[in-house]
Amino acid sequence: MASKTFLSVVPPATPEQRFSEYLAGLDDDKLACKAGTHNIPKLKPGRLPEGVDVRRFGSQGQFQITLACEDCGLPATLTTGNHGVLGPESRWVYDYAALPGFLAPKGTGRVGRKADYRVELGQRLAADVINAAAVTASRDAAAKRVEAARRAAVTPRQVHRRPNAHATNPRARKNTRDGERKMHAERQQRGGQL
């Protein structure tokens, strides 16, 4: 009798499973940008950042300024108002299609929310954050030990005497003044030397 071969049917992945696979394969720079904000170089008077692409746009003297995120490379374009003036209507527009792998693939059933990306970033950063906290704690503890040693070395020894003895004993006050006069006279005789 001939043996029968059975085909196993693998159920298709759910949209959540596809999105999880996409998140797991997303590189760290893209993930950081999707979880936070893009690192677009700042426009400052005097000089434009390296890698800027400026093109004339429209008939009213508008310009399109294109820069790329320094972390993930996503291009962003800013369109100026008339005569190159940046106004309240000027804003960055990102070209997600220009960066392969940046958008979640079709079939994931949803576009990832910022919270989803932050959770993934947090999971990847957990070990680094814990190690940095340990380093900071040991550095703080060492700084406290150094400060305590510094204070111990600088603190003068306590003199055990009754406070304000001169205020309560007029004779002690007189003796002190007489002693100061004698020391001053002796210092003058020696020519100001101690």
What one-character-per-residue DSSP string does 76-90 give?
EEEE--GGG---TT-
pLDDT band per the 50, 70, 90 thresholds, residue 70 = very high
Report the pLDDT value the prediction gives residue 82, as an integer from 0 to 100.
83
Rounded-to-integer distance, Cα 65 and Cα 36, Å: 22
pTM (predicted TM-score):
0.57
Least confident of 4-13, 26-35, 74-83, 134-143: 4-13
Contact 54, 48 (CB under 8 A): yes
What one-character-per-residue DSSP string does 9-52 give?
PPPPPPHHHHHHHHHHHS-HHHHHHHHS---PPPPBTTBPPTT-
pLDDT of 166 > 80? The answer is: no
Rounded-to-integer distance, Cα 132 and Cα 140, Å: 12
Report the pLDDT value the prediction gives residue 185, as an integer from 0 to 100.
80
